[in-house]
Amino acid sequence: RVNRSVSTYMPNSDISKINKGDSTLVVDAIFKEAYRISEIVYNKSKGFFDPTIGVLRNAYGFGDVKPLKQIDSLTLDSLLQYVGFKKVMITAEGTVKKKYPQIYFDFNAVAKGYGIDLMGTYLESEGISNYIIELGGEILAKGTNLKEGKYWIAGIEAVDSKLEDRSYTATVVLKDKGMASSGNYRKFRVDDITGKKYVHIINPHTGRAEQSDVTSATVIASTCALADAYATAFMAMGFENTKQLLSELPQIEAYLTHTKGNNETQVFVTPGFKELLVE
């Protein structure tokens, strides 16, 4: 159901039809909820999380079309006019209105987390209250591990972890929470001609796919969807902006790795996250 609604990789999904210009399609509850969560994080992050970033994602080669051969400041200026969550709305009739038809929705930074939340809702509707769901490193944990008689424990992947031999830098207790991580350590693309490295987290304000000083973000929130979205936002925002926002979000906990001027890796942990770390 989630893929049929908000997967940009399915040509006949609702989001794909809207991206192609269908202004008559009435969106379902899944699309509306992904939109609502995105709007919350967009506003809280001052636009660093923006699901209308799809034209930029495609331009850099992280989407479902071939990347542009050249991306200069003029190209970015022309693409940025099609980015901005304030340029879209869901009408009272349930259709999507876009300021420009070229605006391209991309809920990938929230859809996987939301899908996991829906799996949890289904399990609970079947009377299952103790479970852990993990999908691609994103987690929802409820109740306890009945076998161990303890709350669920999850690992925080190391920044230099190898795909074929994953390693963890710390472990954390999850008490009825969602957890998601974001990092540019695997998701990047190197241009065949210029050799330039493009990271998959894009700054919606500048349009640039460049690494901020935050190298990874692991977030714990009430839902996996919120954890997913905030982890992406923090990667784009940079360390100082993220630290400031976290001080305003008592319900969000984070474990960040970031670099100082000498490229030395530092770790920042919110007090609430620190309490959940397993010694």
Mind giving me the DSSP string for 5-25?
HH-TTSTTSHHHHHHTT--SP
Structural tokens at position 64:
């479902």
- pLDDT tens across 108-158, in order? 899 999 999 999 999 999 999 999 999 988 999 999 999 999 999 999 877
Element (H, E) at 216: strand 214-221
**Global model pTM greater than 0.75:** yes
The H-assigned helical ranges of 84-148 are: 108-125
Domains of the chain: 2-107 (1.10.3980.10), 109-276 (3.10.520.10)
Distances 273 to 26, 113, 144, 221, 255 between C-alpha atoms, Å: 40, 19, 19, 10, 7
> Does residue 19 contact residue 8 with C-beta atoms inside 8 Å?
yes
How many other CB atoms are found less than 10 A from the CB of residue 213?
17
Residues 213 and 166: beta-carbon distance below 8 Å? no
Which pLDDT tens digit goes with each residue over 71-114? 888 989 999 999 999 999 999 999 999 999 999 999 989 999 99
